[in-house]
């Protein structure tokens, strides 16, 4: 089954997405998500200029060999651009394999290990009242798990409180990122009050999550985890930047609040120590930034040995192709934890026609052969690329801080 064409489509149906389309000699087409938010064109170039030409003539069935060929064959290893490009090709090849077999991808991964996949949504608000209203909206939709974020009093902008429909994080477009101001002490005072407010309003029957978004030092993260223990969070996410995996030992010494990490990781080596030393409870690597289905399964298999569960990143800046691929993996692995799901804008839903379903807080990838996502290239062409950056954070004195 020779590959006859491999192309890259950069479009902006509601937000920017990079999609890889791979065609085979027998007419089967597969798609992969190569979106790296704010750095889209770097991955598009890596694919167009260096990867796609190498795919022509290769056997589309040889997924593992193609993965190794693109990873080891480049000599230069890992990194978000490389691993997102490899992921997109890998996801497209799994799509092709599923279509060729007439089976949904999860069947090729061993079949369903559960009936459906629990997902968490994003509730947020400019104040606690608005957060509670949004939280209630999520419960009304059936969510069993909800992430809570609210604007920190005294700070002009807070992570997670986007424009009205809450599906984007990038308030600024064009030539430079927006700059936000961050003050850790204001956040550390506020976060426990926010979690307390949600528990008082909604009780303990719903899973409550919170994203710290890399803002704290390890000892600050330990203090936050301890302060949140009475509110029994499902997890706190990215409490401290994770380049230094050993930093998580310090957090563990101070709190039993579960920890989730991994949305900026791109390989198993980024979380080897975190997993093998049991420094985290959930690994949140995403299928499209961590080398695709082939590599993500390897990460989750390692995690399984150490009692760490999955919690895949599924923000709206990952296309519906990524979400579908993640759902197939989620359904089939033994150590599934939870899946992030914040939905996609209407324009994206016109361009990516999906067969996955959301019902009463659970998702299922559907029974269509392959990933179950059709990509309408003509519809995508109506939405040209719209350059946008994620914000940059500065402390009150102007020092650049983690966003
Ligand atoms: O592109 C960055 C977003 O994916 C990220 O900020 C979202 O932290 C995020 C999350 O948990 O969804
Ligand atoms: Mg996050």
Distance 261 CA to ligand 2 centre (A): 8
Atom of ligand 1 nearest to the CA of 340: 12
Atom of ligand 1 nearest to the CA of 38: 1
How much is the average pLDDT of 105-109? 98
At 169, is the pLDDT very low, low, confident or very high (cuts 50, 70, 90)?
Answer: low
Nearest residue to 372 (alpha-carbon basis) of 108, 44, 145, 122: 108
SS3 299: helix
Average pLDDT value for the chain: 96
Residues forming a β-bridge with 261: 283
State yes or no: pLDDT of 159 exceeds 90. Answer: no
Ligand 1 atom 8, closest CA: 213
Nearest residue to 18 (alpha-carbon basis) of 54, 53, 42: 42
- The residue count for the chain: 403
Strand (E) or helix (H) holding 121: strand 117-125
- Summarize pLDDT for 208-258 with one digit per residue, the tens: 999 999 999 999 999 999 999 999 999 999 999 999 999 999 999 999 999
At 56, is the pLDDT very low, low, confident or very high (cuts 50, 70, 90)?
Answer: very high
Token output for 276 = 């093998």
Q: How many CB atoms lie within 10 A of CB 49?
A: 10
* pLDDT given at position 157: 81
How far apart are alpha carbons 201 and 268 in whole angstroms?
39
Strands in 127-256 per DSSP E: 145-150, 179-182, 207-211, 235-237
* pLDDT given at position 170: 63
SS3 338: coil
Q: How many CB atoms lie within 10 A of CB 107?
A: 17
- Summarize pLDDT for 5-54 with one digit per residue, the tens: 999 999 999 999 999 999 999 999 999 999 999 999 999 999 999 999 99
- Summarize pLDDT for 254-276 with one digit per residue, the tens: 999 999 999 999 999 999 999 99
Ligand 1 atom 6, closest CA: 169
Distance 319 CA to ligand 1 centre (A): 13
DSSP conformation class of 75: S
Token output for 318 = 């990952």
Token output for 260 = 């989730």
Q: Judge contact between 215 and 187, C-beta under 8 A.
A: yes
Distance 211 CA to ligand 2 centre (A): 6
Q: Judge contact between 96 and 20, C-beta under 8 A.
A: no
Nearest residue to 350 (alpha-carbon basis) of 306, 382, 318: 382
State yes or no: pLDDT of 401 exceeds 90. Answer: yes
Q: How many CB atoms lie within 10 A of CB 75?
A: 6
Domains of the chain are 3-104 (3.30.390.10), 108-367 (3.20.20.120)
Token output for 124 = 């947020």
Q: Judge contact between 3 and 57, C-beta under 8 A.
A: yes
- Summarize pLDDT for 285-340 with one digit per residue, the tens: 999 999 999 999 999 999 999 999 999 999 999 999 999 999 999 999 999 999 99
How far apart are alpha carbons 21 and 291 in whole angstroms?
17
69 is catalytic: no
State yes or no: pLDDT of 172 exceeds 60. Answer: no
How far apart are alpha carbons 73 and 228 in whole angstroms?
46
Token output for 106 = 């999860």
Q: Judge contact between 400 and 394, C-beta under 8 A.
A: yes
* pLDDT given at position 53: 98
Identified catalytic residue from 213, 214, 313, 328: 213
* pLDDT given at position 167: 59
Strands in 153-214 per DSSP E: 179-182, 207-211
How far apart are alpha carbons 171 and 29 in whole angstroms?
35
75 is catalytic: no
């Amino acid at each position: 089954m020779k590959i006859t064409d491999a192309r890259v489509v950069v479009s902006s149906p509601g937000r920017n997405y990079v999609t890889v389309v791979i065609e085979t000699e027998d007419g089967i087409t597969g798609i992969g998500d190569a979106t790296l938010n704010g750095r889209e064109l770097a991955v598009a170039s890596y694919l167009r200029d260096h990867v796609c030409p190498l795919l022509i003539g290769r056997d589309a069935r040889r997924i593992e060999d193609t993965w190794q060929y693109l990873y080891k064959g480049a000599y230069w290893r890992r990194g978000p651009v490389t691993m997102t490009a490899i992921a997109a090709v890998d996801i497209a090849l799994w799509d092709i394999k599923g279509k060729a077999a007439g089976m949904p991808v999860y069947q090729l991964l061993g079949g369903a290990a559960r009936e459906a996949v629990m997902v968490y949504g994003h509730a947020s608000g400019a104040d606690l009242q608005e957060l509670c209203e949004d939280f209630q909206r999520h419960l009304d939709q059936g969510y069993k798990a909800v992430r809570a974020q609210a604007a920190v009093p005294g700070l002009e902008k807070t992570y997670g409180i986007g424009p009205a429909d809450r599906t984007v994080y990038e308030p600024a477009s064009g030539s430079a990122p927006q700059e936000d101001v961050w003050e850790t002490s204001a956040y550390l005072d506020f976060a426990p009050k926010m979690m307390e407010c949600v528990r008082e309003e909604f009780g303990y029957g719903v899973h409550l999550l919170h994203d710290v978004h890399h803002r704290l030092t390890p000892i600050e993260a330990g203090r936050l985890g301890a302060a949140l223990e009475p509110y029994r969070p499902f997890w706190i996410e990215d409490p401290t930047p994770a380049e230094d995996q050993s930093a998580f030992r310090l957090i563990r010494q101070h709190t039993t609040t579960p920890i989730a990490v991994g949305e900026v990781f791109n390989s198993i080596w980024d979380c080897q120590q975190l997993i093998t030393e049991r420094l985290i409870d959930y690994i949140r690597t995403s299928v499209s930034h961590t080398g695709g289905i082939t590599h993500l399964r390897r990460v989750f298999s390692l995690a399984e040995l150490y009692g760490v569960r999955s919690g895949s990143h599924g923000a709206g800046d990952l296309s519906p192709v990524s979400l579908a691929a993640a759902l197939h993996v989620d359904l089939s692995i033994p150590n599934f934890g939870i899946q992030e799901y914040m939905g996609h804008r209407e324009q994206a839903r016109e361009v990516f026609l999906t067969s996955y379903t959301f019902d009463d807080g659970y998702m299922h990838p559907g029974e269509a052969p392959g990933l179950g996502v059709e990509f309408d290239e003509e519809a995508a062409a109506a939405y040209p690329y719209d350059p946008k950056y994620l914000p940059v954070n500065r402390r009150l004195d102007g020092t650049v801080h983690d966003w």
